[in-house]
Structure 1
Amino acid sequence: MSETVKVTENPKIYAAIAGVIADCGVVGKDKVNKQQGFKYRSVDDVFNALHPALAKNKVVIIPTVIERRCEEVGKTKNGTSILKVICKVKYDICAEDGSHVTSIIYGEGMDMGDKATNKAMAIAYKYLCFQVFCIPTEEMSDPDAESLEGELAGAQKKEEKKVSAKAEDKKSQPEPSAEPKENDKITPVMLTTIQKEQTRTGVTDKQILSMHDVKAKKIEDMTVLEYKKVMNKFQKTSDLKREAGLNE
């Protein structure tokens, strides 16, 4: 939003702004955000690029905060409030003859201390300068290059891919084994359990296979039903007692 105010019959402000545009160069992204790793242009970069051009063309920028809104948007792990501030700032861009143009810019900033307002004003000033003085920024994004529908469709496709990937992952995982039936062979876990009990009691394979309830020729060929009967005997068997009654 901008408003032009005519002060003299031949205001110098327009020629002065054109002079600033001609004298100001590109402002590159030389700073790096340490937390998130992206590059950005600081307000100091804009000041440094504009200062010589403003001074040469005798242009002064005067800010006035028209409106300020502040809200708490969250807390840190330590309980410190995170504040979000939105400032509506009016900028009078003045020439040496008193003529000026006025531009109103919104700035938004967040901080865990008392700098949220400063950040909001710095952002407002930075983008005022970019737009009023047409400062080249190498790769400033163009809204026409983006499509909200496309972004939503892209987000939906990403979500669908995630769901599909989860489904495929679930398919690739083996189904949990069902409870073995009594006539099935014992599982590796059951075999290990028997071996542990043999170590505890000293009972041999021969003693186990000689039980009248065991028909298997080898321990690993025992059925689940035979396993249960053998384990029942083990429960009654003391440690390292070979005469445990397993030959009954």
Structure 2
Amino acid sequence: MSDKTSLYKKISNVMKEVSYLSKDDKVEFNNTKYKAISEEKVTSTVRASLIQNGLIIIPVKQSHKREGTLSTVDTEYKIIDIDTGEYEIIVSSGTGADTQDKGVGKAMTYSYKYLFLRTFAIPTGEDPDKISSAELDDKQRKAEEEAKKPPPALRAKWKLAKGDMKGFDEWMTAQQEKGKTFEDMETTLDKRIEELKESA
């Protein structure tokens, strides 16, 4: 059996060096205001300690699924002692809500953040149970509604391509039903605008 004493000591050193992380992000919802901790702060702080102690963390296995607008990512990571080559497998999961193609990325970011917080037992004072489910549901609903709104550039390109805004909403709905993103739609309109320029 291999001796992982060096690996465990280094993990312990990271826990000693990063003993607490204060919140650095403000979240506001109606009359509710609270602070959270950003992925950037968690990753940059823990990363410095990992480098100092000769540890690396790499993803080795991942699976994800999507249900509606919610993507869930399950990832296995290796935490490796670069001096001995010894490692442990650590796991983390994350979810991310998005109506387009960013759900998996959001879930991966969430997973990575909590991998560090839980692996090294870093307290932050952050407690998701203090946020009501109704608040989270309403926040997600509003985010989904906002994501469905076409960007101003898309409307402007439609007007250039068609001359007015007639039929825009119907066309956009049909495109979304085909799985097209707003970027896809803009590309389609760009081509039409170029055709009009060439024929002018």
TM-score range, shorter chain: 0.5 to 0.7
Contact preservation (8 Å) 2:10, 2:55: yes
Matched, 1:121 2:115: no
- Cα drift, residue 112 of structure 1: 2.9
Per the alignment, residue 140 of structure 2 pairs with none
- Within-5 A mapping of 1:43-122: 43-72=39-68, 83-96=69-82, 97-122=84-109
- Within 5 Å, give how 1:221-236 maps onto structure 2: none
The answer as to whether partners of 2:43 and 2:116 remain within 8 angstroms in 1 is no
| TM-score, normalised via structure 2 length | 0.57
Contact 1:27–1:135, Cα closer than 8 Å, also in 2: yes
Instruction: Tell me the secondary structure at the aligned position of residue 38 of structure 1.
Output: strand
In structure 1, C-alpha distance between the alignment counterparts of 2:44 and 2:67, rounded to whole Å: 32
Q: Tell me how large the CA RMSD over aligned residues is.
A: 2.5
Q: CA deviation at 1:133?
A: 0.7
1:39 aligns with 2:35: yes
Q: CA deviation at 1:98?
A: 1.0
Measured at CA, do residues 38 and 115 of structure 1 come closer, stay the same or move farther in structure 2, by a change above 3 Å? farther
Q: CA deviation at 1:35?
A: 5.6
8 Å CA contact 1:25, 1:49 repeated in 2:
no
Gaps of 5+ in 1: 1-5, 73-82, 152-248
CA contact (8 A) 2:71 2:97 kept: yes
Structure ID, larger Rg: 1
Task: Map 1:198-209 to 2 at 5 A.
Answer: none
* More relative contact order, 1 or 2 (CA 8 Å, 6+ apart): 2
User: TM-score with structure 1 length normalisation?
Assistant: 0.46
Q: CA deviation at 1:9?
A: 2.9
Q: Count residues with an aligned counterpart.
A: 128
Question: Secondary structure at the residue paired with 1:105?
Answer: strand
Say if 1:61 and 1:94, in contact at 8 Å, map to a contact too. Answer: yes
How has the CA–CA distance of structure 1 residues 140 and 38 changed in structure 2, closer, same or farther, with 3 Å as cutoff?
closer
C-alpha separation in 2, matches of 1:38 and 1:140: 9
Is the contact between residue 94 and residue 111 of structure 2 (CA under 8 Å) also seen in structure 1?
yes
1:177-227: CA deviation from partner (whole Å, max 9, x where unpaired): xxxxxxxxxxxxxxxxxxxxxxxxxxxxxxxxxxxxxxxxxxxxxxxxxxx
Kindly, what percent of the aligned residue pairs are identical?
A: 26
CA change 1:87–1:59 in 2 (3 A) is: same
CA distance in 2, matches of 1:53, 1:122: 19
CA separation of 1:142 and 1:110: change in aligned 2, threshold 3 A: closer
> Do 1:93 and 1:101's aligned partners in 2 also have CA atoms closer than 8 Å?
yes
The unaligned stretches of length 5 or more in structure 2 are 133-200
Give distance in 1, aligned partners of 2:60 and 2:28.
32
Tell me how far 1:22 sits from its aligned partner: 1.3
